[in-house]
Structure 1
Amino acid sequence: MSRPTFILTPTTNHPPSVYNNLATALFRHGYTSIKISLPTVLGPQSPVASSDFQPDVIALRNGLMTLVIEDEREVIVVMHGYSSLPGCEAVRGLSKRDREREGKRGGVIRLVFIMAWLPQEGFQSAERGDTSSFLPWVAVDEITHPPNQQQAGTSTIHALHAPGILYNDLPPETAQYWTSQLRPQSLGVYWSPISFAAWRYIPSTYVLCGQDRVVTPEYAELIVQAARTSGGECALDRVERCESAGHCVMIGHVDWCVGMLRRAAGEAV
């Protein structure tokens, strides 16, 4: 039986290269993985800020459509931080259960949430235009309101604070490198409402990182509890803990992540 393919999605401000070492390690164990570049993380290929998270939803959906619809593969979607929001939207109708109902093969067999929201229907992290809840190490660069368009803008993470907040579990030189890779982030992603809570219907793993200074393990525990007590269906059936990891566990704890993802794929390791 063929092994599932991993789709790896980064969080805000980060390039997909955060998964490079993990993707290489997964390949050594026989797994194919595809890294998704989020268009709302600004760069040469996406230089203009978006007013919402739809570009990310589309990017993820396009990747899934190729794997699930065209190739009929089984897929595990790995979402770090913010990317659980477009990730949940993107998998609608593409689960293995959905495909089996249509007499088709392939589909999303599991979701993996890494220190991420488990968004319920209607969730919106902030009202449009509101940045009052942003943490002090996130700088709002600008907010624009073009005629006949929704508000847009960008934010950046202060380079002075990033090593100790985002990469506190990494060697100083590694933390400085990843700080240099941070990019501006479209603010519109924070103002986008959710319409589909995918973790209700697709088997899901939640990864808790014990040294995370962004989400914090205490807040992550509340996220998990809120999902499990929300009423209705809940397919969150596994919580994995890496007590020594900061926010970017895929950078500093590759071997641990490989084991966790192999278990997500059904291996007994």
Structure 2
Amino acid sequence: MLDTIYVVRHGFRSNWVVDPKSGKYTNNIRSPTGIDGDPALTSYGVEQSKQLAQRLTKMDDPIETIYSSPFYRCVQTLKPFIQGLYEEGSPPGSSTVKYEHGLGEWFGIADFEHPQPVQYEVLQAEHFPFLAQGTLFGVIPNPKGESIAGLHDRVARILNAIIQFEDRRPEQPRALLICTHAAVMIAIGRVLTGHMPADPNEEDFRCGTCSLSEYKRKSPLRAREEWQDWENGIGIAGGWDVALNGDCSYLSNGEERTW
């Protein structure tokens, strides 16, 4: 069964601006996908991703399966690590990335539709050939945004689905890597551990750019279809302990852009 989950946030990205009345997103640097609100990493973010890649190759539990948000900056953050795996002759499956909408960016509730990621087929064919497959689980964020409660529900659903899937695979992977965004990274920590603060703005799980968190499974309980009951210290699929909380010690400039 899966017993280790690593979570990383994407590297330093270029910024966007959104007009709250019209819902129009603009970006000074054109996105490789042509979608405003789907920016690439800055050159600094690329350097961060290379430092992260070096750290990921040294984890105590080798990474056997990888999931990513479908936004460009997350898959781009994984690229140096994937390239390193190819060069070293990685085990089957570990050098491919699964594209999953349920790990995508969190946008607040609005009257307009927020930017949506490019389709898997385009991202795989035109940018990242190491993408293994499109979304499996049908967990799609509301295009008009989510409340904070809605974000945590979405994260609980997608994590439960991923853990169920990985637990049932005949390969029996032990360690999983997820690349996502700041708000989702925080929600992942809360859902895995079952610790939801009374004030959702409390600083509990760290999420600097290219930071790394690690969670260890507490119980051999398998994930169930019922994903809602995770609060009060229960956690998804038997609960998880924090081994690393937004570690940035391997980055040359340490923690940056945390919430």
Give the TM-score taking structure 2 as reference length.
0.37
**Could you say which structure has the greater relative contact order, defined with CA pairs below 8 angstroms and 6 or more residues apart?**
2
TM-score normalised to the size of structure 1?
Answer: 0.36
